Amino acid sequence: MNQKLKQKTTLITIFSLVIILAIIPFFHTEEPPAEAVQPSGELSAEINKLLTSEPVLDGALAGVSIRSAEDGGLLYEHIGNTRLQPASVLKMFTAAAALSVLGEDYRFTTEVLAHGRINGGTLEGDLFLRGMGDPTLLPADFDEMAKRLKSKGINKVTGDLVADDSWYDDVRYSEDLTWNDEHKYYGSQVSALTASPNEDYDAGTVIVNILPRKKGNGANISVEPDTDFVKIINDTKTVDSEGEHDIKIEREHGSNSIMVSGTIPADAQKAREWIAVWEPALYAGSLFKKSLEEQGIKVVGKIKTGNASVTMTSLISHKSMPLSELMIPFKKLSNNGHAEVLVKEMGRVVHGEGSWEKGLEVMDAELSRLSIDTNRLVLRDGSGISHANLIPANEITKLLYMAQKEEWFPVFQRSLPVAGAKDRMIGGTMRNRLKEENLKDRVAAKTGTLTGVSTLAGYVETSSGEILIFSIMLNNLLDDREGREFEDQIVRILARY
């Protein structure tokens, strides 16, 4: 080869190398590999056998996705790119977006303001209770706020107690909530001002307690917290110990009349049920008024709703627990109200509008930043209660992989239910599942249940110490309860892998 030809060949080689090096960055990505590789071996064989032989799946759909937590590579999938109903597994998407947008130290604020002149110990005007989204307000918090007002020397309010929940819009229910769920604790109205009866933080609910009396008498019914905001209509009967335990509790639409009917055996244990109230802002106002009265602060006027203004005098404010702590009851107990509040709060913080529409816009943008293909998702709410929500199993495992790279991941991971852990605030909805000793502390996962739907997604430690990410989505089941054992069988297979 002559010298000129050698030089020409060398220049072509160098030029080609430069071009290759220049285009490599455009193909580099932090996303997990998209190509599914089904390993030949026991993992694939066992899962495939379950999918083809399990009677519960007859006529149903099963989306399965399994990834390596180390590199995100897909190890197994079955219709992993098919959109399916996620149920409460969707809460992990809401949690990830909220931690990213709001931050793990974010707190909700509740304010007490005066509209009028304070003369001596008298407020000559209205007292405003302004909610800004806190779903964790307890009766004890209203007591504490009343004590602080008392310490400021206020003894009387000549006007009204005004409950202000205008921080969010006035749409109380997500668009796909069914009418027969509105009195259930998981279907409570979403409001910027609300209250919870206990530290499960089911905002906008009361607890109805039912105890038997002597045979032939009506049951003994009480409400937590002790409030006259709801009216109990007792149509129950205590029957002998062999009789049927058949208690039904309903709330009349548009009112706070709670009807309790049916029979309870004379030797029955206390029955408890959480019932959603109508108009949670007024409910919170009624609890605050009671706290004020117990501190000797008289409110002459009535409780009503209204909007505070920037010209009013701020008297006190209350801060919620940080979002990092709220994540525990939210995800451990699968709290629907928390999910929807977080959606509206993201909309309020980013777009100045506390609505589902704006909040879901924020979620879409933030999930895209986390490399989720949002074009594959259909999101209608933050809790997963809508049957119109649709997510592919592969996008769920991708989220769980990408979340590991975020600063807030320790909070996210800690808030997942731990299989077999007895403590409700550790085991959560997984406390009675996968309780074998050899699985202890090895499975952390979010559950999901709707009529005909059962889902499970999270992390499992294998026998070799490797962490696998999994998503199991069962749709169109005849009995969603039977799907849980199938899910647990797959997790057991993964744990042995």
Is 89 within 8 Å of 429 (Cβ atoms)?
no
Burial class (CB in 10 A: 0-12, 13-18, 19+), 364: middle
How many residues are given for the chain? 497
Instruction: Judge whether 8 counts as a catalytic residue.
Output: no
Long-range contacts from 51-60, C-beta under 8 angstroms, 24+ separation: 51/78, 54/486, 56/474, 56/477, 56/478, 56/479, 56/482, 56/483, 56/485, 56/486, 57/474, 57/486, 59/476, 59/478, 60/474, 60/475, 60/476, 60/477, 60/478, 60/483
Provide the β-strand partners of residue 66.
Answer: 76, 470
| The one catalytic residue among 88, 100, 196, 454 | 88
Instruction: Judge whether 334 counts as a catalytic residue.
Output: yes
| The one catalytic residue among 91, 344, 398, 446 | 91
> What are the tokens at 420?
């077999």
Residue 191 CA to residue 280 CA, distance in Å, equals 7
Task: Report the DSSP pairing between strands 156-157 and 298-299.
Answer: parallel
Q: What is the 3-state secondary structure (H, E, C) of 296-352?
A: CCEECCCEEECCCCCCCEEEEEEECCCHHHHHHHHHHCCCHHHHHHHHHHHHHHHHC
Hey, what amino acid is at 461? E
| The one catalytic residue among 324, 334, 383, 386 | 334
DSSP conformation letters of 175-220: TT--GGGTTBGGGPPP-SS---SSTT--TTEEEEEEE--STTSPPE
Report whether the peptide linkage leading into residue 225 is cis, meaning its omega lies within 30 degrees of zero: yes
Q: Which residues contact 472 (CB under 8 A, 6 or more apart)?
A: 62, 63, 64, 393, 455, 456, 457, 486, 487, 490, 491
> What are the tokens at 380?
């209608």
Instruction: Judge whether 88 counts as a catalytic residue.
Output: yes
Residue 268 CA to residue 266 CA, distance in Å, equals 6
Q: Which residues contact 187 (CB under 8 A, 6 or more apart)?
A: 173, 177, 181, 276, 336, 385
Measuring CA to CA, how many Å separate 212 from each of 257, 275, 285? 21, 20, 32
Is 167 within 8 Å of 348 (Cβ atoms)?
yes
Q: Describe the crossing of helices 336-351 and 323-332 by its angle, rounded to 10 degrees.
A: 140
Measuring CA to CA, how many Å separate 193 from each of 88, 166, 315, 341? 24, 9, 17, 11
Measuring CA to CA, how many Å separate 473 from each of 167, 168, 284, 456? 36, 33, 38, 7
| Residues annotated as part of the active site | 88, 91, 334
